[in-house]
């Protein structure tokens, strides 16, 4: 699917830069560009987790309907708002920086609902009524990190700022952006040696995994744009 952000007259157009960028969204780095820039992920929810838990426990100890319970609920809500505001401010700043630098911005069409889907139970064939480990605890931690970084909100803000500035945002299919070698084209899950390193099993090409994915994203975006222009 091809999505162009600028379908109207930009309200605050920026001067063209003739530059394009692919953006890989992640957890360790909130975003990595095809130019090799890593935007750090402060993890606002993770940093505030202890205080949020304390506020939640304090509210639970109060009698529902009482003034103490109402004040505890308001205090908890205020802490959640602070985290949300910090995350939103980060997204606005990062989006503005990227829109100023690049005419074309390419992102993955991430199916976030699928990414945060709960792990399905795995019945144990040898022990009816019992289940095999399904890494549900690890998946829960990953889901929490995905929600904390807020990819969907960032892309939405990026689109709005791009449209305002007369820039273009393109979505590309996320499949194989992380496991297809940019050097030889060999595609395999094993190419992703670790979360941080891409190492091609075909040609030996080794590089930072996030930067490699961002370049693949940019390449896919440019190909999609060229195909759309030729149609």
Catalytic residues: 24, 108, 210
| Residue of 167, 157, 154 lying closest to 102 (CA atoms) | 167
**CB 143, CB 45: distance < 8 Å:** no
Residues paired with residue 36 on neighbouring β-strands, in sequence order: none
* CA–centroid distance for 151 within its chain: 4
Q: What angle do CA 115, 82, 59 make, to 5 degrees?
A: 90
The token duo for 5 is 């952000």
Are 159 and 5 spatial neighbours (Cβ–Cβ below 8 Å)? Answer: yes
Burial code (b: 16+ CB inside 10 Å, e: under 16) for 5-41 equals bbeeeeeeebeeeeebbbbbbbeebbbbbbeebbbeb
Question: How many CB atoms are closer than 10 A to CB 187?
Answer: 14
Could you give the CA distance from residue 99 to residue 22 in angstroms, rounded to a whole number? 12
């Amino acid at each position: 699917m091809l999505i162009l952000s600028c379908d109207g007259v930009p309200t605050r157009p920026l001067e063209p830069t003739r530059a394009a960028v692919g953006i890989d969204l992640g957890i360790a780095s909130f975003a990595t560009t095809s130019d090799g820039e890593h935007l750090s992920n402060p993890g606002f929810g993770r940093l505030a987790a202890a205080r949020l838990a304390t506020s939640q426990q304090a509210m639970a100890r109060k009698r529902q309907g009482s003034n103490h319970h109402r004040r505890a609920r308001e205090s908890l809500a205020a802490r959640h708002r602070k985290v949300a505001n910090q995350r939103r401010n980060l997204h606005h700043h990062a989006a503005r920086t990227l829109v100023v630098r690049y005419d074309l911005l390419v992102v993955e069409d991430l199916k976030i609902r699928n990414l945060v889907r709960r792990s399905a139970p795995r019945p144990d064939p040898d022990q009816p009524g019992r289940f095999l480990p399904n890494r549900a605890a690890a998946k829960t931690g990953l889901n929490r990190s995905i929600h904390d970084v807020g990819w969907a909100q960032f892309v939405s803000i990026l689109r709005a700022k791009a449209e305002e500035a007369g820039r273009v945002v393109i979505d590309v299919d996320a499949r194989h952006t992380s496991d297809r070698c940019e050097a030889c084209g060999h595609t395999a899950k094993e190419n992703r040696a670790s979360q941080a390193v891409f190492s091609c099993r075909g040609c030996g090409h080794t590089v930072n995994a996030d930067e490699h994915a961002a370049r693949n994203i940019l390449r896919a975006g440019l190909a999609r744009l060229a195909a759309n222009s030729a149609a």
